[in-house]
Amino acid sequence: MANILMPKATAVWLIDNTTLTFKQIAEFCELHHLEVKGIADGDVAQSMRGVDPVARGELNRDEIKKGEADPDYSLKAIAHQIDTKVPQPKRKGARYTPISRRGDRPNAIAWFLFHHKEVTDAQISKIIGTTKSTINAVRDRSHWDSANIKPVDPVTLGLCSQIELDELIAKASEKRRKMEAEAGNDGPGLAPIDPEAPKDEADDFEESKRSDELTAETLFNLGGSKD
């Protein structure tokens, strides 16, 4: 049997890129055929990235062709591995989501919008494989299933791994701190009322009143002197 370094990841790649039977893949990867079937159905290794055994020097394409041509053929691993380094290609575009789980994406979007407003629409689109139009529909409640949408952790829904989610939240944590800092600022307060203003107005009023009284008294005295 072949001593495969990453059997499940290798099985993921073989399922996605060949027509080998579950039994052939299970034998080569040293897995149970039911486990391989579970990987193909999306019940096992949901967020695992496939690893190419050809690029890793564990298998050649001629062996794959022989296996595809004969379901009873047992794949033979290359004796001397050329490269044991696991390639980590950068994923481009949105994640592919199995049809059976696409209906869960609005719930995951609602979870991000409710718990992590600092995560951008582009980041949400990439990690759970959705579109910005769907995100906007969930945000403004114009989505056709808005009445049934509820926030659910995307890891629980199987749309991403916990490691991927933690990395995303960590990257957005600085933005979250800035948002919280801005929300905590009291901002410029109201200008204090000048305590002298009412006093000045009252003084002006009293002065005006005294002036009026003085004028009236003066006129009255003048009139008395003439009598």
pLDDT for position 98:
55
b or e along 46-75 (b: 16 or more beta carbons within 10 Å of the residue's beta carbon)? beeebbbbeebebbeeebbeebeeeeeeeb
Digit-coded pLDDT (tens) for 136-187: 999 999 999 889 999 999 988 888 888 998 888 888 877 777 777 777 654 4
Digit-coded pLDDT (tens) for 92-106: 555 555 555 567 889
Q: Which of 86, 19, 47 is nearest to 167 (CA)?
A: 47
Q: Taking a C-beta distance cutoff of 8 angstroms, is the pair 107, 149 a contact?
A: yes
- What is the pTM (predicted TM-score) of this model? 0.39
Instruction: Identify the segments of the chain with pLDDT beneath 50.
Output: 1-2, 81-84, 186-199, 201-202, 205, 214, 216, 219, 222-223, 225-227
Q: Taking a C-beta distance cutoff of 8 angstroms, is the pair 158, 46 a contact?
A: yes
Q: What CA–CA distances, in Å, run from 149 to 77, 106, 107?
A: 48, 6, 5
Token couple for 192: 């204090």
Q: Domain extents for the chain? A: 7-69, 99-184
pLDDT for position 55:
85
Q: Which residues contact 21 (CB under 8 A, 6 or more apart)?
A: 71
Q: Taking a C-beta distance cutoff of 8 angstroms, is the pair 169, 163 a contact?
A: no
Q: Taking a C-beta distance cutoff of 8 angstroms, is the pair 48, 36 a contact?
A: no
